[in-house]
Structure 1
Amino acid sequence: MANNVSPLEEAALSGDTDRLYALIEEDPDMLNAVDAKPFVNTPLHIAASLKYLYFATEIMMLKPSFALKLNPQGFSPIHLAVKNGHSKLARRLVDMKKELVRVKGREGNTPLHFASQIGECDLLAYFLSACPDSILDVNARDETAVHIAVRNQQFDALGVLIGWLKGNTRKGAASLEKSILNSKDEEGNTILHLSALKGLSRSVLAEGHSRGPGP
């Protein structure tokens, strides 16, 4: 390892939980020292990037606050898990703390926004089931996850999102659906406006709905 890599980072980079606990025995305040930094790559960030499921679980149990930390690039551990295609690890983090679906990272994007952008349909459905209120979240451009799906022409993801809205049976579901579908981004675009700008027809939105499961 390079000299500028700390022993804690070495343990995270190798997913070595035995080494982690040995380091904690030597310095019980070690994780608190990491947590004191406002923007930092915690061991949980490293584990989430490298798909070390069990190491990530161990760290999450020891220091739940790491899951809310943003690294210097503006990503939380669950953002990194989604970004790197580690869906099982992302699910594990959500199982341990459902509100992680709503963590806002770089440009205000949540994990739900990320999953919509890259078309991770199974994760979208999982996130919405775990944390239904995440559908309300907007990023720095006032975009919902539905805006993101349309903008990136992720029609299967769009289907999941609209299908969830249509199948939602919670109190206020009809009002929520109307609010999300008519929500405007910072440029005043609803998803219908965006569809028109991209040369998509209303039938594409209807087709997307037909693909999407309910909650």
Structure 2
Amino acid sequence: MERKLYDAAVQGNRLLLLNLLEEDALLLDRYISGRYPETPLHVASMLGHLEFVDEILARKPELAKELDSRNSSPLHLASAKGCLQVAKSLLQVNPDMCVVSDIDGRNPLHIAAMKGHLGLLRELVQVRPWAARLPMEQGETILHACVRCNQLEALKLLVERVSDHELVNSQNHDGNTILHLAIAAKQTETINFLISSTTIDVNCENEDGFRALDLLSQNQRDMEEKEIVESLQRMEATRAKDKPLSNRQLKAIRTKILLSAWNQPNANNGNKKRKDGKRLVNSNTKADWVERQRNTLMLVATVLAAMAFQAGVNPPSGVWQDNDDSGETNHTAGLSVFAYNYPPIYTAFLVCNTTGFLASLSIILLLISGLPLRRRFYMWVLMVVMWVAITGMALSYLACLVAFTPGDLSSSLITILGIAMLVWIGLMLILLLGHTIRLISWWLNK
């Protein structure tokens, strides 16, 4: 039965499919419960059999998210073949398959761009535009893929629809931007488009210290390269190397740029070393570190916010349980005992606790806001706000200790707390100074 169903998928024979399902109503369910190299929907999507695909999706839409032996979904295969109508049917059932990556780290948008299927790419971008911003496992973006596959029209479409300054200037593992790749591949039209129609950084250096001008020959007999050099110089491009490279050296460097990262197996995408012995961290490792930092900040901020909220609505020493208008205490039920007994200290406690609470909420809000928090500056801001939140909670604790300590021990406690505060402030200043120096150094390097 499964062999007959496979043949029906190859032929796109919808009637044979219906006959097989009449004989065995659970035939398609086996492809959901079991692990098969591919499903009939994969085969029909790859071959563009629209009626067959629609019949399967009407009966078992869950098959749209099944992956084959290479982690490819039916949408991956339809994108590779340029089957626009099949892709539309699959997108109606499960549009989130746009963000699923295959074994090579490519989602359907990456594949459609590499193949130059503009209509299909336009449809995918319209459904899930942010999927185009997801990097591939080689650390390259969808724009790198367009340049490598010489798909200028796809590049123009993506620059118009989803690109921005950050995406256009993204670097792969070797620090190469799409301008480095275009020059290495001698794609004159692509180079002119990037210079004239995008915000490409013409002075960006790769990990070997080469800028765009360094990859171009100074031989005036090559008119195409001469025109490109003049265009780059009009954009204030400069060379990083004082000594011009020979034609043989240029050829070797260009070949290295074109072969690097793209043909490397996934297992080799870890940390690499430069010629000077310094260890480099690839974009995936950086992304993982940022993601861990985000998760840690979210967890700590949530805990601090819960602590501050609990201390605010249930203050230390509790609240009065009755009303007293006799003139001795004059308190009201539900109000804080702490505020009545120690008004100045309670005010300090309230300010510190509220500061910590609002700082924690600010971190949570920034992390869930969708802002591009992968940059060092944003992470630095989040860390500073986190320090404010932690300091606020620490000062709230100290205020409670001062208020609840008996009078005969208060002088010793104040001395100890004073020393502790000085140590705490010193530690915070050292951390702030260290992170600020790192941020300034990173800015200067950029």
Shorter-chain TM-score range: 0.7 to 0.9
The answer as to 2:175 corresponding to 1:178 is no
CA distance in 2, matches of 1:133, 1:38: 30
Give the whole-Å Cα distance in 1 for the aligned partners of 2:124 and 2:43: 22
TM-score normalised according to structure 2 size: 0.40
| AA partner of residue 192 (structure 2) | S
Q: Call closer, same or farther: CA 1:125–1:206 in 2, change over 3 Å.
A: farther
Q: Over residues 194-215 of structure 1, what are the superposed CA-to-partner deviations in whole Å (9 max), with x where a residue is unaligned? A: 2333345642325676xxxxxx
Are 2:76 and 1:79 equivalent residues in the alignment?
yes
- Give the structure 2 partner of residue 146 of structure 1: 143
Match of 2:192 among 190, 203, 214: 203
Tell me by how many angstroms 1:25 deviates. 3.2
Which structure exhibits the higher relative contact order, with contacts defined as CA atoms closer than 8 Å and separated by 6 or more residues?
A: 1
Of residues 12-21 and 54-63 in structure 1, the stretch that sits farther from structure 2 once superposed is: 12-21
The answer to whether the 8 Å contact 2:12/2:49 transfers is: yes
Q: Which residue of 1 aligns with 2:8?
A: 11
Deviating beyond 4 angstroms after TM superposition, the runs of 4 or more aligned structure 1 residues are 206-209
46, 50, 61: which one pairs with 1:64?
Answer: 61
1:38–1:69 CA contact under 8 A, matched in 2:
no
Task: Note the alpha carbon deviations across 1:9-35, whole angstroms, 9 max, x for none.
Answer: 132223233332332333232222112
Alignment partner of 1:193 out of 180, 187, 191: 180
- Matched residue, 2:103: 106
Give the secondary-structure state (helix, strand or coil) at the position aligned to 1:30.
coil
- Structure with larger Rg: 2
In the alignment, the residues of structure 2 paired with residue 114 and residue 91 of structure 1 have an alpha-carbon distance, to the nearest angstrom, of: 16
Tell me: CA distance 1:25–1:5, structure 2 relative to 1, closer, same or farther (3 Å). closer
Stretch deviating more after TM superposition (102-111 or 27-36): 27-36
Offset of 1:73 from its aligned partner?
A: 4.2
> In 2, Cα distance between the equivalents of 1:93 and 1:206?
37
Judge conservation of contact 1:113–1:145 (CA < 8 Å) in 2: yes
* TM-fit CA distance, 1:6: 1.3
Query: What's 1:43 paired with?
Result: 40
Distance across 2 between alignment mates of 1:88 and 1:60: 13
User: Who is 2:120 aligned against?
Assistant: 123
How far does the alpha carbon of each residue in 1:82-117 deviate from its partner, in whole angstroms, 9 at most, with x for none?
222322222332233222222211301111111111
Instruction: Note closer, same or farther for the CA distance 1:99–1:206 as it changes in structure 2 (3 Å cut).
Output: farther
What are the Cα deviations for residues 29-80 of structure 1, in whole angstroms up to 9, with x where unaligned? Answer: 2222112334522110111122210110111232223222222344321222
Contact 2:114/2:146 (CA < 8 Å) preserved in 1? yes
What are the Cα deviations for residues 147-194 of structure 1, in whole angstroms up to 9, with x where unaligned? 10012221111100101136xxxxxxxxxx233123222322222332
Q: Is the Cα contact below 8 Å between 2:64 and 2:93 reproduced in 1?
A: no
1:136 deviation in Å?
1.6
**Counterpart pick for 2:159 among 151, 158, 162:** 162
Share of identical aligned residues, percent? 31
> Is the contact made by 2:64 and 2:73 (CA closer than 8 Å) also made in structure 1?
yes
1:118-155 alpha-carbon deviations (Å, 9 max, x no partner) = 11122221111111111122221122211100122211
The Cα RMSD (Å) is: 2.4
Residue pair 2:13, 2:52 contacting (<8 A) in 1 also: yes
Over 3 Å counting, the alpha-carbon distance change for 1:36 and 1:5 in structure 2 is: closer
Task: Identify unmatched segments of 5+ residues in structure 1.
Answer: 167-176, 210-215
User: In structure 1, what is the Cα distance between the partners aligned to 2:68 and 2:40?
Assistant: 11
The 2-side partners of 1:98 and 1:207 are apart by 34
Distance 1:145 1:41 in 2: 26
> Closer, same or farther in 2 for the Cα pair 1:49/1:33, shift >3 Å?
same
Relative to structure 1, is the Cα distance of residues 5 and 98 closer, same or farther in structure 2, using a 3 angstrom cutoff? closer
* Total equivalences in the alignment: 196
Structure 1 stretch displaced more, 190-199 or 140-149 = 190-199
